[in-house]
Structure 1
């Protein structure tokens, strides 16, 4: 007997979720098992509904121990910063929950930790300044970095001050001020010792250093950008929803009003077109 998608969805909805009186106190091992049940339910619920929000909130509270675990790696920053670190880590946890799919066939803990640590490292990057810089310029520097990356991807070259000013809704003088403000920002040496006593031998790189293999793809990205610009509107939209918004094929199908199978065919055709273009330019 063939089970349809609708029947499978109804079967998942029919499973009664266990009542979790205090999700934040669930032991990590139990949280891993319970999370699978709640992710199953979340996948078939409509976003924005009370039931969806309740399941999502339970997942967040049950997995707070992951944030505390990740934040513990940065305890040498001192107790004054720890509260901020945990709050920032929670943002990473929420992003991981919203983007996780059981079909990835990986444990949620394995999927979530990089999101949490990445958010914490971004917090350090955006708040570590060697000299005092006005708050507005600190914020402008972050916006400048995002705008520069967006325009570089769109234009295939480094944007001009004028182009940045238009995108950021700032004057060219303010854009230049933001660039100068970047000179007041610096990071701690990766060789700097952390902790005290027995822990003093550990270097900061032992905790946050990692090879960025994506750097090897920079040339490919520059080659790919004009090819994506040459796709038709629907092809670009599908590529954006799948690889930028990280939507599943089923979600994309819902938004476009087509079947998941049709989305799969469109994706395969579009990716094949981009791959052929990459090889022809190589």
Structure 2
């Protein structure tokens, strides 16, 4: 049975191979190898919506393929961290296309509709705005149930990013101002991954590190690398394989922390 490090090593080798020479065969192998990531995200998203898990899983594979096609292993980013936004993004696009507003439970919809009718009747009878207690009593529900139905209806429509959330001295702060810069966060994550990869590379034996850098960064052939470091091409291949396994072992704790 394949161990976790060997699976990660195989994945890294396939990603390197696909980046240098893209092919449907290698891409399909990568899809199979990362199918668990798609299923994991689909499982989570399915609990947050009414769409079937199977539909979300199929949509997620489209995101995985896009991630494979765009991934650059030389940037030092863990593929799982890179692929998650693509996979989840495809699912969210699918959900957004299926529904323009947030769905609320049918009971709350009916309760709110009946509550509006009761409110109008009480206003006509008393000549004033009825309280939540009066409306809830007329509906035969608790005050909390009535208030929850009102809040759900109020929150059904999306907020504008231009909506003011607080007033500063010189200018108001809008909802859009509080949103994180996704591009900056991506660059920050890539830099952190690059630093982790570099630290792992620095712990390799000199000729092993040189072999990996020559092949995967400078794109030299194994024969050319063998001449550079004074060993046989077969030794270069063995050093690369051993070096990748060592790096995966060194990076494994960090990778596990960033898995979704």
Report the TM-score, using the length of structure 2 for normalisation.
0.37
Computing the radius of gyration from Cα coordinates, the structure with the larger value is 2
Q: Which has the higher contact order (CA 8 A, sep 6+)?
A: 2
Report the TM-score, using the length of structure 1 for normalisation.
0.35
